[in-house]
Amino acid sequence: MINIDDKEIYIIGGKSRLAKAIVSSLKKQNIKYKIKNVLLNGSEPNSIFKDLLPKRLENDGNRLIFNCLADTAGEKGQKLQNYINYDFAYNLCESYESDLIVNFGSNTEETNIDSTYLDAKRRLCENLADSHNSYYFKLSTLYGYYPLKKGMFLSLLYNSIRKNEDFNMSSGDQLREYHRYSDVVLDIMYILKKSSPGIFPIKSNDSVAIKDIALAVRDELNPNMAINFCVDKIEHEVYRKGSEKSTSIYSKTNIENIVAFLRECYERDNTRCRTIWSGDC
């Protein structure tokens, strides 16, 4: 259990959307923080900590460190997947054992979907299970920041709407929980204040089919656009609702909120006469 007001707070990876949401929450509470950005050069896991933070000689637990480094893109980023999502995060807890560390993973770890990212996160979660200084939060799909993150389902759908192009997708029967960054951070802060270190899936068990999201967004923003359910089924996708206990107080899946957010993006793009991806009007 943490009295956040009394902590010296650091945020690693301050450019991420999750970090920005944490910063916004801290600002609203008038809590001071420091951003620590990391140069990722593929060096040995421990060497990166040399100038990150001075070590504590005593186990006073006065520092709270949010590690918001996560998935990486591009060829170089793919080579760093294990380094960032396992080595860096695990060694952060080991190297700063006198501090409290907050790491993040994905609720998709609990499925049988395989990827380099999920494999690294599963190993991290397993090896931090008994850690005395680690809070590990498993998150669902996040949205709520403009511009949209490239490559995600919502951004692909939105891009087709902006360009007035047909949108091709699978059956859309896959189930997802979509949570707003701001709501997830409220859950995180609540858990930090109420619970000792451990593993915390932020789940609401109110998942919806992505085809219902696609149709609702299409009907609101571009009713004349065609959605074609023609892409082959993806092996190991999630097609059933979870049965785990709901742990979210603030995070809920709401299609109307998703539509409202994408309309806000649409209006902002129209006002600026540009699109996020193509750069034209």
C-beta of residue 125 within 8 angstroms of C-beta of residue 199: yes
CA dihedral (52, 55, 61, 63) positive or negative? negative
At residue 42, the pLDDT reads 52
Q: Is residue 253 part of a domain?
A: no
pLDDT, tens digit (0-9, with 9 covering 90-100), for 225-269:
999 999 887 777 888 887 778 889 999 999 999 999 999 999 999
Give pTM, 2 decimals: 0.90
Q: Is residue 179 part of a domain?
A: no
C-beta of residue 136 within 8 angstroms of C-beta of residue 165: no
At residue 36, the pLDDT reads 87
Q: What tokens appear for 99 in the block? A: 């501090």
Q: Collapsing DSSP states into helix, strand and coil, what is residue 187? A: helix
Closest CA to 8 of 38, 37, 31: 31
What does the CA dihedral 43, 48, 51, 56 come to, rounded to 10 degrees? -150
What is the mean pLDDT of the segment spanning 144-150?
92
C-beta of residue 123 within 8 angstroms of C-beta of residue 129: no
Q: DSSP code of 216?
A: H
Nearest 5°: phi and psi at 201?
A: -75, 125
At residue 209, the pLDDT reads 96
Does the pLDDT value for residue 281 go beyond 50?
A: no
Residue 76 — very low, low, confident or very high, per pLDDT cuts 50/70/90?
low
pLDDT, tens digit (0-9, with 9 covering 90-100), for 214-231:
999 999 999 999 999 998
Alpha-carbon distance 16 to 117, whole Å? 17
CATH number of the CATH domain containing 55: 3.40.50.720
Return the H-helix or E-strand segment holding 184: helix 181-194
- Residue 147: is the preceding peptide bond cis (ω within 30°)? yes
Q: Is residue 186 part of a domain?
A: no
Alpha-carbon distance 72 to 170, whole Å? 25
At residue 200, the pLDDT reads 96
C-beta of residue 136 within 8 angstroms of C-beta of residue 198: yes
Closest CA to 199 of 244, 144, 142, 141: 244
Kind of pairing between the strands at 63-67 and 34-36: unpaired
Q: Is residue 237 part of a domain?
A: no
Q: Is residue 269 part of a domain?
A: no
What is the mean pLDDT of the segment spanning 111-137?
93
- Domain range for residue 71? 1-139
What is the mean pLDDT of the segment spanning 153-180?
95
Q: Is residue 66 part of a domain?
A: yes
Alpha-carbon distance 178 to 184, whole Å? 10
- Cβ-proximal residues to 235 (8 Å cutoff; 6+ apart), any chain: none
What is the mean pLDDT of the segment spanning 114-125?
92
The pLDDT mean for the chain works out to 87
At residue 165, the pLDDT reads 95
At residue 276, the pLDDT reads 44
pLDDT, tens digit (0-9, with 9 covering 90-100), for 30-60:
999 999 877 665 555 555 666 677 766 555 6
What is the mean pLDDT of the segment spanning 106-130?
92
Closest CA to 103 of 169, 240, 197: 197
At residue 1, the pLDDT reads 72
Bridge partners, 176 (sequence order)? 208
Q: Collapsing DSSP states into helix, strand and coil, what is residue 66? A: strand
C-beta of residue 101 within 8 angstroms of C-beta of residue 135: yes
Q: Is residue 134 part of a domain?
A: yes
What is the mean pLDDT of the segment spanning 166-192?
96
Total residues belonging to the chain: 281
Q: Is residue 164 part of a domain?
A: no
Domain count, the chain: 1
Does the pLDDT value for residue 75 go beyond 80?
A: no
